[in-house]
Structure 1
Amino acid sequence: MCHILLVLPFLALPLFWLLPQAVAVPVYGVILILSIAIYLLAIRAMRLPVVTGPEALVHQLGVIIDRQAGNYRVRLQNELWNARSDEDMQPGERVEVVSMQGVTLKVKRASMAKSGKM
């Protein structure tokens, strides 16, 4: 259905064969303006930041809740996640998500400028 909206100006071209020109031009103009509006809305929607999935977690700030043999439990957006880090950190420290490997977060110590935001 959505792809038909993209080619709507081309599908409306037969109006010029079926209707008198005095009627076809305004009808086609309305279809063309609506199509341009739909294109602009689609482009704006594609440029919005990611809000779901693993990509949305990168650069988010969390707090270490627990530590067990190099693995950490991190509270991030009111959820508990398993995490790993190359740094040695203690419970209560703020961390920033660097990446996600499967369902395990890779974290680093949050910088002072960022940890004030949380």
Structure 2
Amino acid sequence: AGATAWALELVVGDASGARVTLRTPLKRSHVGVREGDEVHMVVGSDESYFATFDAVRETYFPRTNEWIGEYPFLDRRAMPAVSARISRDAEDRAAFAERERRERAAGAGGGGYGPGPP
């Protein structure tokens, strides 16, 4: 009987229900991976709404600056900058949505036009 090869199996998904499973040989560097960690991946699809997609078999964990994947298909040097941009864009969208929510709430009592002239 041969030795058992240990593997890490990641199931990565998003709020839309999209899921992809990645299997890779287990390495010591994977010890920092936690359930619920944010990950960034490069995916491609033949559909404009990405109802189905193919993922490049590499996953980037921005919190730990860790890559998980058997073979480097991407130029990994660029991913930290791309990841930071994704995070900034998400923060900007959340701040914009919060401002709109507050403006709607403030306008609800005054007909939506805000305070009158001084």
In the superposition, the TM-score normalised over structure 1's length comes to 0.32
- More strand per residue: 1 or 2? 1
Over alpha carbons, which structure has the higher Rg?
1
Q: Which has the higher helix share?
A: 1
